[in-house]
Amino acid sequence: MKISVIGCGYLGAVHAAAMASLGHEVVGVDVDADKVAALTSGRPPFFEPGLSELLVKGQELGSLEFTTDVSRVADSQIHFVCVGTPQKPGEFAADVTYVDAAVDSLVPHLTSTSVVVGKSTVPVGTAERLAVALVPTGAALMWNPEFLREGHAVEDTLHPNRLVYGVADGEAGEQATAGLDEVYATMLDEQTPRMVTDFATAELVKTAANSFLATKISFINAMAELCEASGADVTQLADAIGIDDRIGRKFLNAGLGFGGGCLPKDIRAFMARAGELGADQAVAFLKEIDSINMRRRVRMVDIARDTLDGSFIGKKITVLGAAFKPNSDDVRDSPALAVARLIATQGGVVTVTDPQAIDNAAMTFPELNYVADTSQALADADAVLLLTEWQEYRDLDPVATASLVAGKVLIDGRNVLTPEVWRSAGWTYRALGRP
Ligand code: UDX
């Protein structure tokens, strides 16, 4: 199939490269010339395991092209819209202007056999509105939400755990379904579950899934608050309740909470959209989910300050991790950086390190100190805060680390270290939700 992908960020670049690796002819379009140049030369503009190999494979096959020129989509039958829908400044609602602009830019190139496939996460009702805008072109619209996790994006794109097609009734829906079935033939051969729904349901599947995941994380973090109040251990609590497969152990890791470009803004956009629809009570609980999540950052700072006898002034704090989660260089709404900034504003001398995200972090918060090398970052620290659980931080040796720092204080913001091991090496070990 000849395919275009509009928007080559975390979602679109991976989608374009993955579709080319499946044998399709793909043109990826982005307004950012630097990003296009990087992708064209096989260099991913962000860290995503496996993407580089896919880009090289696509170039070798001659089936993957990146451009800033949207007219290059003219030969494509299927057009994927993969642009961002960030939170509007000063509001909870999502900004859908990039989606609207992407669809507008496609319109002159569409025919009655074209299919436009929205993958961006949008407020429910967006697809219905865009379908009306496409009527004069004769093209069909479909909403096909994407569930990929950063850090696993290649695997999740090539082997998704489900496919959801939101389509219009009648012929347009059939045309869109047939087109996408052809694009995703290898996945359908692997028996990937595929559900065909109306537009609104498909849009809500994505928002509901992310709301559920956020709720699960904030639930266990609320339990962590109770554990702190009562002297219990949230990691044991999570293990014990997670054995019940109605609950499940996944997404029950208590700690600093969720961040990134999806969960925080998606639950806020959901609240905003529910309000517009007169259904705000239905998701009012998400406000509490958000509050629990944001409280964890403040609690982390409180624990660190408390451990340092009540003040950060003049103390050297090393923050391990800047990305919002491991295996990513994405710092959007990073809990680790939020904590680092709070400590800096309270007088701490903060050094941040991360295996991949330092450049992005420095662009976002230039006021913090960044050191790439872990040992150098740890040198003379009065306290070490593990805030993003990269494997290399999980593997730190307490004895070797002790020889680098000034004060053996470790605060585990992700509950990934074994307290006894660190304590027996002479460290003061503290964590969220653990005695
Ligand atoms: C998420 C969804 O998982 C994905 O399906 C959707 O398409 C986009 O949003 P992503 O943002 O890449 O993906 O990250 P995810 O792995 O879901 O983690 C989100 C955040 O929750 C991270 O900050 C992570 O550290 C945190 N988290 C996750 C926890 O705090 N505890 C957990 O148990 C799991």
Which single residue is written with the structure tokens 């939700």?
Answer: 433
User: What would the pLDDT profile of 59-100 be if each residue is shown by its tens digit?
Assistant: 889 999 999 999 999 999 999 999 999 999 999 999 999 999
Q: Say if CB 132 and CB 27 are below 8 A apart.
A: no
Q: What is the CATH number of domain 2-197?
A: 3.40.50.720
- Pocket of ligand 1, beta carbon within 6 A: 146-150, 210, 213, 217, 251-253, 255, 257-260, 262-263, 324-325
Q: What is the average pLDDT value for the chain, to the nearest integer?
A: 97
What per-residue confidence (pLDDT) applies to 59? 86
For residues 344 and 392, what is the distance between their CA atoms, to the nearest angstrom?
Answer: 25
Smallest CA-to-CA distance from 46 within 16, 13, 84 is with 13
What per-residue confidence (pLDDT) applies to 125? 98
* Residue numbers of the chain with a pLDDT score lower than 70: none
Give bridge partners of residue 29 from the DSSP assignment.
6, 67
Burial of 112 (0-12, 13-18, 19+ CB in 10 A): exposed
What per-residue confidence (pLDDT) applies to 267? 98
CA 214 to ligand 1: nearest atom: 21
CATH architecture, range 233-435: 3-Layer(aba) Sandwich (3.40)
Smallest CA-to-CA distance from 116 within 197, 71, 175 is with 175
Total length of the chain: 435
Task: Give CATH 3.40.50.720 domain extents, the chain.
Answer: 2-197, 233-435
Please state whether the predicted TM-score (pTM) of the whole model is above 0.75.
Answer: yes
Q: Which of 262, 289, 294, 390 is the best mutation target for the ligand 1 pocket, counting ligand atoms within 8 Å of the beta carbon and taking the most? A: 262
User: What would the pLDDT profile of 2-37 be if each residue is shown by its tens digit?
Assistant: 999 999 999 999 999 999 999 999 999 999 999 999
CA 260 to ligand 1: nearest atom: 11
